[in-house]
Amino acid sequence: MSTTAETEKTIWVHIWRGKDEGRHVSYEVPARENQTVLDLVTEVQRYHEPALAYRFACRVGVCGSCAMTVNGRPRWTCRTHVKRVVEGGEITIEPLRNMPRIKDLACDMGEFFDKWQKAGGKFKGKATRREPPMAVDPESRERKNADAGIECINCGVCYAACDVVAWNKDYLGPAALNRAWTLLNDERHADHAGLLEMATSEGGCASCHTQGNCMTHCPVGISPTRSIAGIKKMSLVDLLRGRAR
């Protein structure tokens, strides 16, 4: 287990407490060798502030529940090593931007998921459970496009990072459009025309100004910027060809 020298060191953690009205409260917690930001928050909850609200589930970066604003940037906290973000022995932790707050570090992700649906993110199949899966060429350009964006954990980090989301409440946001793009590249999907219509209408891909905050911050390395660009191109090409998918 950890050595005594280690446990003597401490970190100051400044945590947002409250809902929209609130304040930062500072806590001094022991610094440990392999600590993540989530561990810091847990330490505060366990030993300082029993009623502190935050959210996590998987601890390994697949559930996308634990995202918070850490020293001003949105991050998944379960896989953010403290050493990578600590500034002068201090860390400020706040709820994600661009989402309604519930309490302390927990946000309401409802709107994020509503927009996911609004962008058309729902598969409609052509086949049923009585038929074998459709053959799909793993090397096709479409399949590779889909693969590039499909492992989104819907953590909302990109959504919090994007300024357009903050400026335009109708903007569907990077994650939702990224999902729409993977579906547009899914040859098994039955309604590409309807999907493209949804992804390009009010608040859709045209609202993205290629700011790139999303791809800079996506913890799993997805580039919604690229995916959204793909939708833009598809929408332009289709419009020029007078074609619906």
Partner 1 sequence: MRHSPRRHRNYVAFLGHRLSGIALAIFLPFHFLALGLALEGAGSFDAFLAFADIPLVKMAEWGLVVLLALHLFFGLRILVLEFMPWRSDADDRAGLIGWGAGGALALGLVFLLGVF
Partner 2 sequence: MRIERSKTDILILGTGGAGLFAALHAKQADPDCEVTLVAKGLLGKSGCTRMVQGGYNVALGEGDSIERHFMDTIHGGKWLPRQDLAWRLCVGAVERVRELENEVGCFFDRNPDGTLHQKAFAGQTFDRTVHKSDLTGIEIINRLMEQVWNLGVEKLEEHRAIELIPAKDGSGVAGVLLIDIREGVYRFVQARAVLLATGAGPTMYLYHTPSGDKTCDGLAMALRYGLKLRDMEMVQFHPTGLLGGLRTRMTGTVLEEGLRGAGGHLLNVDGERFMTRYDPRGERATRDVVSRGIYAEMRAGRTTPMNGVYIKMSHLGPENVRRMFPGMVKRCADSGFDLAGGVVEVVPTAHYLMGGVEFEVDASTASPGLFAAGEDCGGVHGANRLGGNGVANSTVFGGIAGDSMAQFVRDGAPLRDPDETVIDEGIARAEVPFGQKRGDLFELRERLSQAMWDDVGVMRDAAGIARGKAKLVEQTDELDGCGLPDGDRTFNLTWHDWLNMKSLTMISEVIATAAEARTDSRGAHYREDFPETGDLETTAYTSVSLQDGKPRVEMVPVDFSVVKPGETLIEDEPAGKSAVA
Partner 3 sequence: MMEARLFALQRLTAMLMGPFVIVHLLVILYAVRGGLSAEEILARTTSSVIWPLFYMLFVVAAAIHGPIGIRNVLREWSPLPLHVGNWIAALFAAVLLVLGLRAVWAISGWAG
**Least separation in angstroms between CB 90 and partner 1:** 13
Q: Which of 182, 185, 207, 223 binds partner 3 (CB under 8 A)?
A: 207
Closest CA to 227 of 202, 244, 208: 208
**Cβ proximity to partner 1, 101 vs 189, nearer residue:** 101
Tokens of 211: 């700011």
The full 3-state SS of 97-147, as one line of letters, equals CCCCEEECCEECCHHHHHHHHHCCCCCCCCCCCCCCCCCCCCCCHHHHHHH
**Least separation in angstroms between CB 65 and ligand FES:** 5
The single-letter code of the amino acid at 225 is T
Token pair 């590779």 is at which residue?
A: 144
> Hey, which residues between 209 and 228 contact ligand F3S (CB under 6 A)?
209-214, 224-225, 228
Question: Which part of the chain contacts partner 3 (CB under 8 A), choosing from 29-37, 152-160, 163-171, 222-230?
Answer: 163-171
**Cβ proximity to ligand F3S, 36 vs 225, nearer residue:** 225
Closest CA to 12 of 68, 70, 84, 89: 89
Q: d(Cα 100, Cα 96) in Å, to the nearest integer?
A: 9
Binding mask 11-50 for partner 2 (x = CB under 8 A): ---------------------xxxxx-xx--xx-xxx--x
Q: How many residues bind ligand FES (CB under 6 A)?
A: 12
The interface partner of residue 216, options being ligand SF4, partner 1, partner 2, none and the CB cut-off 5 to 8 Å by kind, is partner 1
Q: d(Cα 223, Cα 147) in Å, to the nearest integer?
A: 12
Q: Which of 193, 210, 233, 237 binds ligand HEM (CB under 6 A)?
A: 210
Could you give the maximum distance between any two Cα atoms of the chain, in Å? 71
The single-letter code of the amino acid at 132 is P
**Binding of partner 1 at residue 39 (CB under 8 A)?**
no
The single-letter code of the amino acid at 76 is W
> Hey, which residues between 176 and 215 contact partner 2 (CB under 8 A)?
182-183, 186, 188-189
> Hey, which residues between 86 and 105 contact partner 2 (CB under 8 A)?
102-104
**Cβ proximity to ligand SF4, 179 vs 189, nearer residue:** 179
**How many helices and strands, by DSSP H and E, does the chain display?**
11, 7
Q: Which of 209, 236, 237, 239 binds ligand HEM (CB under 6 A)?
A: 209
Q: d(Cα 48, Cα 38) in Å, to the nearest integer?
A: 15
Q: Which residues bind partner 3 (CB under 8 A)?
A: 164, 167-168, 197, 200-207, 209, 232, 235-236, 239-240
Q: Which residues bind ligand HEM (CB under 6 A)?
A: 209-210
